[in-house]
Amino acid sequence: MIPAKIMSLHSLASRFRLTLRLLRLKAQPVVALLRRIRADELDVVAAWLAYTTLLSLVPLVALVLVIANYVPGFAEVHSAFDQLLVKYLLPEKAGNVIANYTLTFSANATRFTLLGISFLLVVVWAMFWAIEQAFNRIWRLAPDRRFIHRLAHYLLLLLIVPVVLGMGFAGVMWAVSLSLGFFTELKIIRKFMSGAVAMSTLIAFLAWLNYVLPNCRVQIGHALIGGIFGAGGIALLQWGFGVYVQQFSSYAAVYGAFSILPVFLLWLYLCWLMVLLGCVVTAELSGSSGRRLPIGYGGF
């Protein structure tokens, strides 16, 4: 009896050790990802990008509006893009206020002289450069891209991407509205389709960033997975912000009319954190490529 019990305990211990070994193997990618996040100091980089975005938001929108005046039929695209931002990307309740202020300031900025527009270009260039540096820092790549390539990517990001995203969102929503009135009658399905289109648009945009900005070759599948991670995180943030704004109304009572600014800055910080997390996922999936730099490389 005793040897049988000893054998049973030995078998149980062996199974336990095997289970621990399998769990350790399964957890290795997660542990590596957490170590990468800590080593790359994503919180610091996200704070830097949030501050840069806050300073560059009005010049960026102003330049897009100036360019959009020369795009035929941009009124419908602008309306769809505004709906995409306010309803699905910006924090709940604060989104309308932020969008109105930004569009008002941007409309004033479009009346600048040539010198003023040059200043807007410099500010927007600095923001795009900061984003590119952040992505290459995560990839630990040398930021030695040629000026002409960098200019082409920045112009694509400034000129084409907003129009394409707005046209895509408007086109899909128009197709949904013409579906024999079915989606119009069932508001739940219509709301679901609108959210799905917005999420797909955001995933495509983040995947494009993960594919274009790193100074090396990136597989489209890896960039897409990173875009899914980033977009999913932003969707969770929007839901969490809605709960936060409803539960903590005293925050607005303390800050008053200025409560929009810290809320928006926090929103930008968390959104950039999710975008950078998607970039880390893409870099981890892609493995070693390009001319790597040591951990802790600043690049700023």
Surface-to-core class of residue 3, CB atoms within 10 Å of its CB (0-12 exposed, 13-18 middle, 19+ buried): exposed
Give ∠ CA 43-48-54 in degrees, rounded to 5. Answer: 125
Phi, psi of 192 (to 5 degrees): -65, -45
Position 171, amino acid: G
What pLDDT shows up at residue 176?
Answer: 54
Q: Check: CB of residue 98 under 8 Å from CB of residue 90.
A: yes
What pLDDT shows up at residue 229?
Answer: 92
Of 209, 18, 25, the C-alpha closest to 132 is: 209
Instruction: Determine the Cα–Cα distance for residues 202 and 147; give it in Å rounded to an integer.
Output: 28
Q: Exposure pattern of 37-62 as b/e (b: 16+ CB <10 Å)?
A: beebebeebbbbbbebbeebbbbbbb
Q: Check: CB of residue 270 under 8 Å from CB of residue 89.
A: no
- Please measure the distance between the N-terminal and C-terminal CA atoms of the chain and give it in whole angstroms: 70
Of 252, 235, 247, the C-alpha closest to 199 is: 235
Of 215, 203, 201, 204, the C-alpha closest to 135 is: 215
pLDDT in tens for each of the 300 residues of the chain?
A: 555 555 555 555 555 555 555 555 455 556 666 777 777 778 888 888 988 888 887 777 777 666 666 655 555 555 555 655 555 556 655 555 566 666 666 566 556 667 777 777 788 888 888 888 899 888 888 767 777 777 777 777 776 666 665 555 555 555 555 554 544 555 666 666 667 777 887 888 899 899 988 888 889 999 999 999 999 998 888 777 767 766 665 665 665 666 667 777 888 888 899 999 999 999 888 874 444 444 444 444
Reported as type and span, the H/E element at residue 160 is none
Instruction: Determine the Cα–Cα distance for residues 175 and 158; give it in Å rounded to an integer.
Output: 27
The crossing angle, in degrees rounded to 10, of helices 74-83 and 42-68 is 150
Q: Check: CB of residue 36 under 8 Å from CB of residue 266.
A: no
How much of the chain is helix, strand and coil, in % rounded to 5?
85, 0, 15
Instruction: Determine the Cα–Cα distance for residues 155 and 261; give it in Å rounded to an integer.
Output: 29
